């Protein structure tokens, strides 16, 4: 089961391309460290994968498993479910 917070991270990574902890922390109101921990948890659960270029972290993208969850829930259903 994926939490609303986890799905929100998937949303920001896939839909808005906020694929680094700094951007994500600003959007979600978390510290950069908290955002980094959340992203590592999602990576451990194989929902996102780290992209490196020239030996440095470039960002994250959804894995096939993460993309299936994203496509199954759809942004609008998620947004309505949160009461926006």
C-alpha 23/C-alpha 26 separation (Å) is 5
C-alpha 84/C-alpha 51 separation (Å) is 31
Q: Is 34 exposed, middle or buried (0-12, 13-18, 19+ CB in 10 A)?
A: middle
H/E stretch holding 72 reads helix 64-73
Helix or strand or coil: residue 75? helix
Question: What is the tens place of the pLDDT at every residue in 29-69?
Answer: 999 999 989 999 999 999 999 888 888 877 889 999 998 88
Report residue 16 as tokens. Answer: 């808005």
pTM of the model: 0.76
Q: Which domains does the chain have, with CATH numbers?
A: 4-81 (1.10.10.10)
Round the average pLDDT of the chain to a whole number and report it: 83
pLDDT at 24 over 80: yes
């Amino acid at each position: 089961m994926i939490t609303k917070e986890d799905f929100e991270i998937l949303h920001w990574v896939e839909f808005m391309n906020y694929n680094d902890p700094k951007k994500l922390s600003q959007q979600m109101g978390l510290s950069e460290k908290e955002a980094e921990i959340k992203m590592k948890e999602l990576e451990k659960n194989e929902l996102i994968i780290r992209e490196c270029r020239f030996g440095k972290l470039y960002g994250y993208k959804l894995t096939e498993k993460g993309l299936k969850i994203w496509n199954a829930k759809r942004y609008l259903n998620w947004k309505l479910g949160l009461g926006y």
